[in-house]
Structure 1
Amino acid sequence: MGKMATRRDFVAATGLGVLGLAGGAALGLAGCGSGTSQGNASAQASEVSWDEEYDVIVVGAGLAGLAAAITVATEGDGATCLLLEKSDQPAGGGNSQFSSGSVTYTDDAEAFGSYLKELRGDYTGTPDDILEVFAQRSAELRDWVVGLGADESDMKFTNEDGSKRGEFGELENSESYRYMSFNKKESKSFTHISHFALSVVEAHADVITEKTKAPLTDLVCDAEGAVVGVVYDERGKEMKAKANKGVIMCCGGFENDTVMRQDYLSAPHAHPVAGINNTGDGHRICAKIGADMWHMHSCAGFWTNAVSLDGEKYCAYRKINKQNGITVGINGRRFYMDYDMAVSGWPQSDELVSLEGDVGCRHGHQQFGGEWPLLPLPSVMWFIYDQDHAEDAYTDGTGDPVADGFAVSADSIEELAALIDVPESELTETVALWNSYCEGGKDLSFHRPPSTLNPVANGPFYAMKCCCELLNTDGGPRRNAKAQILDTAGEPIANLYSAGEFGSLWAHLYQGSCNLSECLVFGRLAVQSALGIA
């Protein structure tokens, strides 16, 4: 067999290191490796008339992009950086600002790396060296953040003594995780890691040029396929910026692209909690130049939250308390272990780690058959509870879900079934069976913890409409342990790097607070690789 042709061989043989030209002079979206043009001519990247020139260009100003820009400023020995953000938010329009703000770190890189491999499980497409470099760099995070000027007296550090177990506490070495965050209630300076990182970026305005409302529209490559610059839109004006050392893609996920949710998650009905600007732009741009994709199935999500009866608004994040009732589908039956409230259940209690307590939801992964897959949830679900638990079940808005348009109520279960159009016989049987479990102290169908067995017995009764909720996706261009983006032959695309949730390392189970760690670790690593200082 002959040698497998690489992307570079293909580009060199076909002379596709071009950008398409639309209407003569304007650069179109044909990209580095496209053999088509939107006009009648094409130009080599060497012939492009650049509007700007920087050493490093960072795309996306979430925490990953901020970390990359900070690294250029603090470790780049005078290197310059262009930081592009498509939203009007200086700290990005993705998920970073909507997260808890907690960052995982470790004091034992070897043990933490072992835990990461346990979380990966059988998803061996993520190589060991990616997890090992993440573990090694996570051991540097606390010192790095403090070294940038964070005041430790304004922060809290959890599990410093290693006495608690991680989100998947039954796995070996889960206690090796630590996490840090700014104290939201008592901090004298910052309340979130993103706000702190933005302040560091702003302090280095001499070498970092940040532009908001400036979405990337294309990458520019040379004749051999190396990325040499970008095209972006600056408030309606097309701009071409040269990158002397590299382009760092920090574009987040695709949770707010309806078609991509259908194609990769089979969840067109899922409701994204945040990241309104995470619409897969960077994925499509990188795909055009031959980037390979991985982890497109992986996400944090697929628990339930309330949606208004008209489908127009959503209950605030985690504002319904599922221990106060049961969840049924349109057939009137329970269909899963419907206490999905343990999404932030770490440090783990003995109840949650014990065999009898392996229940709940861990960032969307739900106990199912003794394992923790992502469950496909129905498009419509109903949370059923009674008057005795009405005060605690819904804690959003006015506190009255009927008045707020999220629920209906009735004096009997039969009347309630008619209002939500589920079979009366099924719903009454489901509620009766549930009440018998509550009386006996055991959920024999789905094994909810005894402390969550609250009967649905005293009217009026409530039915709150629920939807499947999604926090973030992990899929995107495949990266290596140097943060380089790889093509479909497994070769690095020269001068192109990524960080954060844009092609995240998470393939299977996820330890909470590690997404922000990955932003910091790979944002820094990508720039160090681009500048040759890793």
Structure 2
Amino acid sequence: MSNNQSPLASRRALLKQGAALAAGMGTMMLTPAANASSSCKPAATKFDEIFDVIVVGSGFAGMSAAVQAAESGAKVLVIDKMPVFGGNSTINGGAMAVAGSPLQAKAGVKDSVSLMVQDMLKSGRGMNDVEMLKLVCDGTSESAQWLAQYGTVWKPFVQHFGGHSVPRVLQTKESSGAGIIRPLIAAAEKLGVTMYKQTKLESFIQDADERVVGVEVKRNHFFQKSRSGTPAKLGARKGVIMATGGFGRDIDFRQMQQPRLTSELDSTNHPGANADALKQMMLIGANPIHLDQIQLGPWSSPDEKGFGTASQFNTAATYQNGIVVDVRTGERFFNELADRKARAEAIMTRRDDQGKPVYPIGFTNAKGAKNAQTLAWGMKYDVIKKADTLEELAAQYDIPADKLKAQVAQWNQFVKGGEDKQFGRPLMQAFELTEGPWYSVRMWPKVHYCMGGVRVNTHSQVLHLVSDKPIEGLFAAGEATGGIHGASRLGACAVAEGVVTGRNAARTAVSEKAIDLKLA
């Protein structure tokens, strides 16, 4: 950006100086003067280390960006503030929505990019950035194959997650995002990517034209001690890619957006999932979008902390192959294959006269649970219960046994007839629940995903709040961005978004003209 835009530049400089004084965050840019129209030019920054591309964050988006950039020959650095790499991605279920995969073709599933876009638009209540949706959906098939080339192993069958019109979900053999992150880290190391953990982003460094040319960090940072670490300046000749995820564990910030999401509501996110990096982007003018759209995971259990064992069990077994009932009536009360927002909101309505949760029960039989890899662990910790008969299952949760048996019989009739006359659930992969043993779990949503973040264009460039033009040298991918999912993200689309947009950001960044930076 040019300095001849003096009113806008002046305003930015004032905002940054004021923010630095108020928050004690230090200088956000190199210009010391409040008046950007001054003829004074800042002294050139000297950096401790210089790279072509710096990636902040090491999840799906960050590692995909790093590997993609390194493939092009760029000198790449990945930093993460936590003591281990991977962030939320390593505890993610490892499921990726893919339009047009070989597994779909093998199973006779007809799918298309346009159908996936339509499904995501419906789930997002029409609030989505359509061009970004198209970019993500169009890149899923090729990106799934790209991951496989680097060592990700997909299960040999396709799954049908809630809100998707057809089965299109691939999942790692581990049922974990680690099945994607570990191969990408290995690939990055083989390609010469430098990776620093316990390195916290403090602020951005910009040049006289307000281009992002690097970051100020704290090295040897301990997450539990906010002021820990030693300062360093890291230069980026081509750009900085922000792949810093969401803010699901930042209770104060998330409650500013959604007051009902208090500390009483658990989260599936890792402890470092806060708004610190988002705030730094906002301080240099990034446009925040949809910050109040925060997703609750409808497959969680109140009987364990975090992501736990119930999430994978419910995703792979209950929702695809079983039913969910209100313990007071023994009856279904929603479409188990609706999108996440619809399911979470339905579950949250189950309360007593004092407003306290009445936890619904999700269950299936042995056939339905055959692909639930966390079943044994869930039973070990008494999160998932086993019953030989429906009467025994009803007794475990004080459900009226006759009502429960009647509901199961009705469900079986729907499956026979090919139509769910209660809630219109798709029955493509449904089967009759005729015999035990039965496996069940109590359910209650947890804060899971932030649909909001900074606004980007289809080149993954971060857009300025005032000018709506790219902030030069700054890119973002994955959950750090907003607008793609609208009001609600469909299951398995986080991996799709992260991998596709991470690679997209890297392609744009490496195509930038390198600027000359100096070492200290």
Q: TM-score, normalised by structure 1?
A: 0.67
Q: Distance in 2 between matches of 1:277 and 1:249?
A: 15
- How far did residue 251 of structure 1 move? 0.4
Specify the alignment match of 1:520 in structure 2: 499
Q: Distance in 2 between matches of 1:117 and 1:67?
A: 26
Shift of the 195–115 alpha-carbon distance from structure 1 to 2, 3 Å rule, reads same
> What are the superposed Cα offsets for residues 73-129 of structure 1, whole Å, 9 maximum, x if unpaired?
1114xx322210111113x22234433254635369x94045314421475553332
SS in 2 for 1:271: coil
Q: Distance in 1 between matches of 2:307 and 2:487?
A: 31
Specify the alignment match of 2:49 in structure 1: 52
Q: Which letter maps to 1:134?
A: V
Q: Answer with 118-127 or 65-74: which moved more.
A: 118-127
Specify the alignment match of 1:64 in structure 2: 61
Q: Does 1:472 align with 2:472?
A: no
Percent identity among equivalent residues?
19
- How far did residue 195 of structure 1 move? 1.1
Instruction: Select the residue among 232, 240, 251 that pairs with 1:247.
Output: 240
Q: Distance in 1 between matches of 2:117 and 2:323?
A: 35
**Does the Cα contact within 8 Å between 2:298 and 2:445 map onto a contact in 1?**
yes
**Does the Cα contact within 8 Å between 2:300 and 2:307 map onto a contact in 1?**
no
Q: Distance in 1 between matches of 2:26 and 2:82?
A: 20
Specify the alignment match of 2:37 in structure 1: none
1:137-156, aligned counterparts within 5 Å?
A: 137-145=139-147, 149-150=149-150, 155-156=154-155
Shift of the 289–377 alpha-carbon distance from structure 1 to 2, 3 Å rule, reads farther
Instruction: Select the residue among 348, 356, 360 that pairs with 2:336.
Output: 360
Q: Which letter maps to 1:258?
A: I
Q: Distance in 2 between matches of 1:447 and 1:250?
A: 38
1:264-343, aligned counterparts within 5 Å?
A: 264-265=257-258, 266-268=260-262, 269-303=264-298, 305-308=300-303, 316-318=310-312, 337=333
1:93-492, aligned counterparts within 5 Å?
A: 93-102=87-96, 104=98, 106=100, 111-121=112-122, 123-145=125-147, 149-150=149-150, 155-156=154-155, 158=157, 167-170=162-165, 177=168, 180=170, 182-184=172-174, 192-205=179-192, 208-235=193-220, 236-265=229-258, 266-268=260-262, 269-303=264-298, 305-308=300-303, 316-318=310-312, 337=333, 359-362=335-338, 364-366=340-342, 376=348, 380-383=357-360, 399=379, 437=407, 467-489=444-466, 490-492=468-470
**Does the Cα contact within 8 Å between 1:17 and 1:33 map onto a contact in 2?**
no
Specify the alignment match of 2:518 in structure 1: none
Shift of the 9–520 alpha-carbon distance from structure 1 to 2, 3 Å rule, reads farther
SS in 2 for 1:98: coil
Q: Distance in 2 between matches of 1:113 and 1:325?
A: 30
Specify the alignment match of 2:510 in structure 1: 531
SS in 2 for 1:382: coil
- How far did residue 301 of structure 1 move? 3.1
Unaligned runs of 5+ in 2: 35-39, 103-110, 221-228, 351-355, 386-393, 415-419, 435-439, 514-520
Shift of the 278–363 alpha-carbon distance from structure 1 to 2, 3 Å rule, reads farther
**Does the Cα contact within 8 Å between 2:456 and 2:481 map onto a contact in 1?**
yes
> What are the superposed Cα offsets for residues 59-86 of structure 1, whole Å, 9 maximum, x if unpaired?
001121111111221114xx32221011
Q: Answer with 208-217 or 112-121: which moved more.
A: 112-121
Which has the larger share of strand?
1
Q: Which letter maps to 1:526?
A: A
Unaligned runs of 5+ in 1: 1-5, 38-42, 339-358, 408-415, 421-426, 455-462
Q: Distance in 2 between matches of 1:294 and 1:251?
A: 16
Shift of the 12–527 alpha-carbon distance from structure 1 to 2, 3 Å rule, reads farther
Shift of the 376–74 alpha-carbon distance from structure 1 to 2, 3 Å rule, reads same
Specify the alignment match of 2:485 in structure 1: 506
Q: Does 1:497 align with 2:499?
A: no
What is the count of residue pairs matched by the alignment? 452
Q: Which letter maps to 2:255?
A: Q
Q: Which letter maps to 2:342?
A: Q
Q: Which letter maps to 1:288?
A: L
- How far did residue 399 of structure 1 move? 3.8
SS in 1 for 2:98: strand
Q: Distance in 2 between matches of 1:398 and 1:517?
A: 27
Specify the alignment match of 1:74 in structure 2: 71
Shift of the 289–15 alpha-carbon distance from structure 1 to 2, 3 Å rule, reads closer
Q: Answer with 58-67 or 485-494: which moved more.
A: 485-494
> What are the superposed Cα offsets for residues 120-175 of structure 1, whole Å, 9 maximum, x if unpaired?
147555333222322333343245345xx4369x555656xxxx9775454xxx57
Q: Distance in 2 between matches of 1:326 and 1:71?
A: 42
Specify the alignment match of 1:3 in structure 2: none
Shift of the 248–46 alpha-carbon distance from structure 1 to 2, 3 Å rule, reads farther
- How far did residue 374 of structure 1 move? 7.7
- How far did residue 202 of structure 1 move? 0.8
- How far did residue 19 of structure 1 move? 6.8
Q: Which letter maps to 1:243?
A: A
Shift of the 169–302 alpha-carbon distance from structure 1 to 2, 3 Å rule, reads closer
Q: Distance in 1 between matches of 2:322 and 2:137?
A: 39
Q: Distance in 2 between matches of 1:305 and 1:86?
A: 27
- How far did residue 57 of structure 1 move? 1.0
- How far did residue 478 of structure 1 move? 1.0
- How far did residue 305 of structure 1 move? 3.6
SS in 1 for 2:244: coil
SS in 2 for 1:82: strand
Q: TM-score, normalised by structure 2?
A: 0.68
Shift of the 169–317 alpha-carbon distance from structure 1 to 2, 3 Å rule, reads closer
**Does the Cα contact within 8 Å between 2:51 and 2:235 map onto a contact in 1?**
yes
SS in 1 for 2:273: coil
SS in 2 for 1:286: helix
